[in-house]
């Protein structure tokens, strides 16, 4: 079972694990950043047209699921929390990777969605059988993202300002993620300042801005204005 293989949830994320309803309150509350951006995408559906409206709905659901999974992981730490935490975040990355690459290379949207769904099912199975595979799966997904990004940039289907904003947000988020780990230079287990909490805020912003940056890649219609 996934839960049996995973112990002391959040122990590597610096913040003290308490006995209250939210085991790591700062990390748990900051996880709502994903939910906020997911809700924003839902509210912005009016400005989306055609297939991108559907893409926006799906990605909004994935962001909200990522937030819920992270709140469960750092907060309630209940049954299935590690699985939902890992699967939801990887699925958000997978959606961007698969749909952006598909759009850039002219793959039919139905086939792209089928490929995404199949990939999520495979990842879910791997996470059940091999819980420690999350980082490896995420790394492979990032490689696919990079392929789509390079191709989209060359074809002029990404938006420069959104792309830069996403890169800055994710780069800073990764630095805080590493520095804020347990034993890291930014780690103070009792502080309200938690590097992992800032990782939540900035990575959520990075996912949203990258989604906006690659609207053109998914549509295959060229560069999109801000």
Domain ranges of the chain: 9-217
Residue 57 CA to its chain's centroid (Å): 15
CATH 1.20.120 fits 9-217, yes or no: no
Residue 19's pLDDT is: 84
Residue 5's pLDDT is: 41
pLDDT digits (tens, 9 = 90+) for 40-87: 999 999 888 889 999 999 999 999 999 999 999 999 998 899 999 999
Long-range CB contacts (within 8 A, 24+) of 154-158: 155/104, 155/217, 156/216, 156/222, 156/223, 157/103, 157/104, 157/214, 157/216, 157/217, 157/219, 157/220, 157/221, 157/222, 157/223, 157/224, 158/213, 158/214, 158/216, 158/217, 158/223
d(CA 93, CA 74): 21
Residue 15's pLDDT is: 97
Kindly state the tokens that stand for 137.
């799966």
Q: With a cut of 70, list the residues of the chain below it in pLDDT.
A: 1-7, 220-226
Residue 220's pLDDT is: 58
Residues 20, 7 contacting (CB under 8 angstroms): no
Half-sphere exposure in the Cβ direction for 130 (13 Å, CA): 8
Residue 131's pLDDT is: 85
- The length of the chain is 226
Running DSSP on this structure, what letter comes out for residue 180?
T
pTM of this prediction? 0.91
Residue 1's pLDDT is: 40
Residue 223's pLDDT is: 39
């Amino acid at each position: 079972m996934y839960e049996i293989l995973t112990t002391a949830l959040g122990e590597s994320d610096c913040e003290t694990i308490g006995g209250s309803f939210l085991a790591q309150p700062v990390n748990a509350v900051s996880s709502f950043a994903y939910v906020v951006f997911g809700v924003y995408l839902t509210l912005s559906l009016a400005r989306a047209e055609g297939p991108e409206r559907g893409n926006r709905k799906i990605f909004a659901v994935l962001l909200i699921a990522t937030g819920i999974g992270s709140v469960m992981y750092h907060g309630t730490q209940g049954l299935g929390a590690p699985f939902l935490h890992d699967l939801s975040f990887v699925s958000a990355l997978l959606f961007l990777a698969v749909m952006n690459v598909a759009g850039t290379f002219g793959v039919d949207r139905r086939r792209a969605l089928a490929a995404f769904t199949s990939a999520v099912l495979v990842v879910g199975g791997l996470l059940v059988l091999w819980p420690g595979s999350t980082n490896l799966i995420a790394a492979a997904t990032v490689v696919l993202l990079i392929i789509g990004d390079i191709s989209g940039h060359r074809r002029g289907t990404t938006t420069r300002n959104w792309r830069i904003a996403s890169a800055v947000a994710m780069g800073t988020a990764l630095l805080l993620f590493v520095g804020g780990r347990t034993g890291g230079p930014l780690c103070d287990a009792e502080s309200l300042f938690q590097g992992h909490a800032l990782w939540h805020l900035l990575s959520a912003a990075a996912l949203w801005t990258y989604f906006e940056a690659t609207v053109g890649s998914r549509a295959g219609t060229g560069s999109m204005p801000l």
